[in-house]
Amino acid sequence: MYNLKELAESVIKKPGVFLDETKLYPEYVPENLPHREEQFKQLVKIFKHVVVSPGSSSARVVLYGSLGTGKTATAISFGKVITRLASEKGIKLRYAHVNCASTRSALSVLREVKNQLSLSIPDRGLGLSEFAQALLKEMDREDLYAIVTLDEFDSVLTSFKGEDKYALIRFYDMFHSDILRLNFIYISRMKLNDVLRILDEISGSYMMRNTILFNPYKSRELFDILKYRADEAFYPGVVDDYVFEYIANLIGYDTGGDGNARKALAILYAAGKLAEKEIEEGKVVRVLVDHVRAVSASEDLGLIHVLDSLNYLSTHQLLLLKAIALGLKETGESYVNIGYVEEIYRRLCFNLGIEPRRHTQIYYYVTELANRGIVMVKKALKGRRGRSSYVSFGAAPIDSLLKVIERTIAMRREIGE
C-alpha cells in the first residue's frame, strides 16, 4: 500500500522505479505470504494450546524444505500473529527467533533467547543447566510464555556436541518445570531421513512428531509472490506483467528451476536497479523482460547463489571467503594461491582478536566451500611450479560480495559469536 502524498513527494524528489526498494530486501517480511496459508494453518493448530490453555504442554514442530521456500518468513509471521492473539486474551506470550548458524553451543542459543525475551538474568559464569533453570525461573516470575524458533537448526544437528543437541531438542527432559512455558519451532533444510540418521531414536521421534513441509515454489506460485511483492516495492504500473511471468518460469520448480523465492525476488530487484540506471530527465522507465534477461545472463546470478549460502557458513568460513575475495582483488588475477589466502585470513583473525583455525582445518573449509559451489579450486596453475592450489569465486562481482560478507561477519560479532 502506498500513501499518495508520499508518492507525490518521492517522485518530485527523485524519479525512479522504486517506491520503496527495502520491501525487496531478503530480510523484509511481508504482511502476507501467498501460497503458505496451509503451513500457517498447521502452525496455528500445533500451537493452539498456547492461547487456549497456556502452560499445559510444550509443542515442537520441524519446518523443512529447500532454500528460499518461505520457512523463516512463515515462522516470523506466525510469531507476530500468535503473540497478538495471546495478548488480546491477556496472555503474556513472546516470540524469539534465533539463527543457530551463528551460535556454537546450547548455552549461547539460550542466551540469545533470554535477550530476545528481554529477561533479566545475570549470565556471567553460569553453565548450561544453571542458565536454563534461571531462564525458567524468570519466566515463572514474569508469568511469561514463549515460542522460540531455532532457525538454521542443521548447524546444531551437524556441529553441536551431543548434550547441547539434546538440550535443544528435549528441553523439558533435561530441565524440569511444572508449567511448560517454552515451545519450539525448528527450521531445517535437510530431508527428514537425514535428520533421523543423525539423531538417536528417542530424540528423532521427539523431533518428528510434528513436521511441516515447504515445497519449492511452482512457477504459478512465484508469479503471485512476485506480483504481490512488486506492488509494495515499485510505483504502480512500472513493472511489465511479462516480467513476473518470465522470472517465475526461470525459477519455478515445475519449469526447471529450484523454486527459490529469494532468488526470484533478487532477480526482480536487480532488474529494477538496471532499469533505474536508464532513467533520463523526463523519460518514463519501465522494468521489462529485457532487463531480466540482462540480469540473468550477467554475473549477478552468481552473487545471488553465494548470498544464499552465507547464512549457513561459520564465522571462520566467512573470514576465509573474505580472504579469498581480498586476495583476488589485490592480485587482480582470476585465481589466487591458497597459501596467500591463508596469510590474509590469519591477519583478519588477528585484527578481530580471534584464534585462527589450523592449516588442515582451512583446507577442509575450502573443500567444503567448493562442494557447495561457492568457490572453485584448481591445482597448480599452468606455467607455474609447485603443486599448490588456487581458488577463485564463481562469477560473483567481488566488491558487492565483500560488502555482504563484511556485513554478515559484523552481524555475527554483534551477537557475540
Ligand X SMILES: Nc1ncnc2c1ncn2[C@@H]1O[C@H](COP(=O)(O)OP(=O)(O)OP(=O)(O)O)[C@@H](O)[C@H]1O
Query: What residue ranges bind ligand X (CB under 6 A)?
Result: 26, 29-30, 33-36, 65, 67-73, 189, 214, 225, 229, 261-262, 265, 308, 311
Query: Which of residues 73 and 303 has its CB atom nearest to ligand X in the complex?
Result: 73
Shortest reach from residue 411's CB to Mg ion, in Å: 15
Query: Which of residues 114 and 263 has its CB atom nearest to ligand X in the complex?
Result: 263
Shortest reach from residue 33's CB to Mg ion, in Å: 13
Query: Which of residues 39 and 177 has its CB atom nearest to ligand X in the complex?
Result: 39
| Angle formed at CA 156 by CA 150 and CA 161, multiple of 5 degrees | 135
Shortest reach from residue 257's CB to ligand X, in Å: 14
C-beta nearest to Mg ion: residue: 72
If contact means CB under 5 to 8 A according to the sort of partner, which of ligand X, Mg ion, none does residue 34 touch? ligand X
Shortest reach from residue 152's CB to ligand X, in Å: 7
Query: Which of residues 15 and 30 has its CB atom nearest to ligand X in the complex?
Result: 30
Task: Report the Cα 198 to chain-centroid distance in Å.
Answer: 22
Under rule CB under 5 A, how many of the chain's residues touch Mg ion?
1
DSSP assignment string, 293-322: HHHHHSTHHHHHHHHHHHTTS-HHHHHHHH
If contact means CB under 5 to 8 A according to the sort of partner, which of Mg ion, ligand X, none does residue 222 touch? none
CA gap 153, 61 in Å, rounded: 12
Task: State the cell numbers at 96.
Answer: 524469539
* Alpha helices (H) along 27-95: 37-47, 49-52, 71-88
C-beta nearest to ligand X: residue: 70
Phi and psi, residue 259, nearest 5°: 70, 25
If contact means CB under 5 to 8 A according to the sort of partner, which of ligand X, Mg ion, none does residue 30 touch? ligand X
Query: Which of residues 64 and 234 has its CB atom nearest to Mg ion in the complex?
Result: 64
Query: Which of residues 22 and 388 has its CB atom nearest to ligand X in the complex?
Result: 22
* Alpha helices (H) along 187-218: 192-198, 201-208
If contact means CB under 5 to 8 A according to the sort of partner, which of ligand X, Mg ion, none does residue 35 touch? ligand X
Length of the chain in terms of residues written: 417
If contact means CB under 5 to 8 A according to the sort of partner, which of Mg ion, ligand X, none does residue 26 touch? ligand X
**DSSP secondary structure code for residue 177 in this structure:** -
If contact means CB under 5 to 8 A according to the sort of partner, which of Mg ion, ligand X, none does residue 216 touch? none
Residues in Cβ contact with 2 at an 8 Å cutoff, skipping those fewer than 6 apart: 19, 236
Report in angstroms the alpha-carbon separations of 337 from 12, 383, 389, 391, 397: 51, 14, 6, 6, 19
Shortest reach from residue 393's CB to ligand X, in Å: 20
Strand partners, 62: 186, 211
Query: Which of residues 244 and 335 has its CB atom nearest to ligand X in the complex?
Result: 244
Percent helix, strand, coil in the chain, to 5, is: 55, 10, 30
Shortest reach from residue 98's CB to ligand X, in Å: 13
Task: Give the type of residue at 87.
Answer: S
Shortest reach from residue 303's CB to ligand X, in Å: 15
CA gap 348, 317 in Å, rounded: 12
Residues of span 68-87 touching Mg ion by CB under 5 A: 72
Query: Which of residues 110 and 304 has its CB atom nearest to ligand X in the complex?
Result: 304
Instruction: With residue 378 as reference, give the H or E element that holds it.
Output: strand 375-379
If contact means CB under 5 to 8 A according to the sort of partner, which of Mg ion, ligand X, none does residue 335 touch? none
Shortest reach from residue 251's CB to ligand X, in Å: 11
If contact means CB under 5 to 8 A according to the sort of partner, which of ligand X, Mg ion, none does residue 94 touch? none
Report in angstroms the alpha-carbon separations of 205 from 45, 192, 196: 20, 11, 8
Going 293 to 294 to 297 to 298, the CA torsion angle's sign is negative
Shortest reach from residue 71's CB to Mg ion, in Å: 5
Query: Which of residues 54 and 70 has its CB atom nearest to ligand X in the complex?
Result: 70
Residues of span 36-75 touching Mg ion by CB under 5 A: 72
Binding site for Mg ion (CB under 5 A): 72
